[in-house]
């Protein structure tokens, strides 16, 4: 912006609008980048949910029989052995699924940095015009 004292109000207004337009474009670009980053994080969270399901199924199929057999060998009735093992794996799967679901909440996907920048920019513009 020029420091020429003879500049017209129209010229000053044109410069101000140009700067505001540039600022808005920058904020939109930042919002796009932040949403893209958050969507990638959502992909990871979905991957964790899928991983939890696969892990739960595989684990239940492969290790359940072995643990039930081990508990039965230790003197626990077979039915109780199966219940204990099933609950153990269900708890693990539940914890993993809850973690994935919590990472997918809309609040974690919102462009919070952009919102803060827009508020800060609006405050700065307001202060500039309040000083005049």
Q: Is the pLDDT of residue 4 over 70?
A: no
Q: How far is CA 53 from CA 30, 56, 83, 85, 95, in A?
A: 35, 5, 19, 17, 11
Q: How far is CA 56 from CA 19, 31, 53, 68, 127, in A?
A: 55, 37, 5, 16, 57
Where do the domains of the chain lie?
A: 9-123
Report which of residues 20 and 130 the model is more confident about.
20
- 98 — pLDDT class (breaks 50, 70, 90): very high
CA pair distance 69, 74, nearest whole angstrom: 9
How wide is the angle at C-alpha 16 spanned by C-alphas 125 and 117, nearest 5°?
A: 35
């Amino acid at each position: 912006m020029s420091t020429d004292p003879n500049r017209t109000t129209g010229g000053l207004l044109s410069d101000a609008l140009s700067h505001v337009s540039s600022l808005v474009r920058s904020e939109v670009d930042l919002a796009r980048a932040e949403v893209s980053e958050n969507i990638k994080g959502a992909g990871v969270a979905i991957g964790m949910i899928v991983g939890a399901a696969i892990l739960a199924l595989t684990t239940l199929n492969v290790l359940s029989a072995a643990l039930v057999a081990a508990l039965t060998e230790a003197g626990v009735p077979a039915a109780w052995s199966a219940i204990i093992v099933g609950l153990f794996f269900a708890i693990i799967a539940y914890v993993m699924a809850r973690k994935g679901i919590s990472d997918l909440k809309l609040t974690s996907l919102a462009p919070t940095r952009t919102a803060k920048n827009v508020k800060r920019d609006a405050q700065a513009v307001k202060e500039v015009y309040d000083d005049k």
